[in-house]
Amino acid sequence: MSDMITFPDVVNWAVPFFIAAILAELVWIAIKGRGGRYETRDALTSLLMGAGNVASGIVLGFVAYGFFMLLWAITPLDLGTSFAVIALCFVLDDLRYYWVHRFGHRIRWVWASHVNHHSSQHYNLTTALRQTWTGTFTFMMVMRAPLILLGFHPGMVLFVGGLNLIYQFWIHTEAITRLPRWFEAVMNTPSHHRVHHGRNPRYLDCNYAGVFIVWDKLFGTFVPELDSEKVDYGLVHNLGTFNPLRVAFHEWVSIFRDVTQPGLSWRERLNYCVMPPGWSHDGSRGTSFDIKTRYISDHPELAESPGFQSHDPRG
């Protein structure tokens, strides 16, 4: 078995590129007077979240890596490290990313980690770096287990995951409107991902893709960006703080408060962890499905338009 294989930590090596690209986007916006917005505290919070993500990876990365190496030790399969295998691993890992990301929006326990990425009301390259500090606690590393058990080396799986994250960096921009039609049809683009960051009822819970938008088209979660409806970025209930600690942990605190309130059954306590964000035992809150349903009741003429077509409450 190829135990001693090493792959570069591409995300860390991309840091200079991230900084240069942010400065380039900022210069572009300043010169052109369009193509996005920046605000000091928002950007600072995003960048600190990114730094915290790297730090949490250094501190807690051993948990996932140990799990992956354990799987590697027990699997009898080894696909090697040819270019074709790395390319196949990249595509399959992107499918893995699609489902992890979809779970991240539909299971509150996973949303608690991912929510901070959506907590900015801006959409620029710093937003891409507003990443979780608590991903380890979602246990979503199990979604990589099939790849390793199939014979893809753990180092390779982490390497292609890093490439996936780097790809997603540049799509967090308003400076690029639309790309050639063939590219928009296959790849995740700034336009597709702007929709994903929208808090408009139409744009909630869609476009989960990392690199290839074809997964959303395949699984019925694709919504195009409409020129008639500008994306409103942020959360359904926007934060009232720029404090990175509150940004990182607020949904975990909220889960804790919900789960520990008196008078609930154990099933209700569990549901506060695993049901979609917005679920409540007494129906006093609203999930994305509830929000869409209410919106359609106020605007029935939009019922079959993108984002509202037969929206499935099960996610």
Partner 1 sequence: MPLSILLPMVGLGIAGIAVILHLLGLSRAAVLGDEAAARAAWLRECPDRAPRRIILSHDRHAALIETDAGPGVVWAMGADTTARPLKDARIRRTARGLCIDLPDFTAPHIRLRLDPDEAAQWPTHMKDSA
Using CB under 8 A as the criterion, which residues of the chain lie in contact with partner 1 when the complex forms?
A: 9, 12-13, 15-16, 18-19, 22-23, 26, 30, 37-44, 47-48, 51, 54, 58, 121-122, 126, 232, 234, 237-242, 246, 249-250, 253-254
The rounded distance, in Å, linking the Cα atoms of 118 and 224 is: 19
Do the beta carbons of residue 173 and residue 124 sit within 8 Å?
Answer: yes
Identify which of residues 151 and 155 has a Cβ nearer to partner 1 in the complex.
155
Identify which of residues 96 and 118 has a Cβ nearer to partner 1 in the complex.
118
Cβ at position 232, least distance to partner 1 in Å: 7
The rounded distance, in Å, linking the Cα atoms of 165 and 161 is: 6
Identify which of residues 124 and 189 has a Cβ nearer to partner 1 in the complex.
124
Identify which of residues 46 and 207 has a Cβ nearer to partner 1 in the complex.
46
Handedness of CA 189, 128, 137, 4 (dihedral sign): positive
Cβ at position 282, least distance to partner 1 in Å: 16
Cβ at position 26, least distance to partner 1 in Å: 7
Other beta carbons within 10 Å of 123? 21
The number of C-alpha atoms within 13 Å of 238 and in the hemisphere containing its C-beta is 13
Identify which of residues 76 and 240 has a Cβ nearer to partner 1 in the complex.
240
Cβ at position 82, least distance to partner 1 in Å: 26
Identify which of residues 111 and 208 has a Cβ nearer to partner 1 in the complex.
111
Cβ at position 179, least distance to partner 1 in Å: 26
Cβ at position 121, least distance to partner 1 in Å: 4
**Side chain identity at residue 130, one-letter code:** R
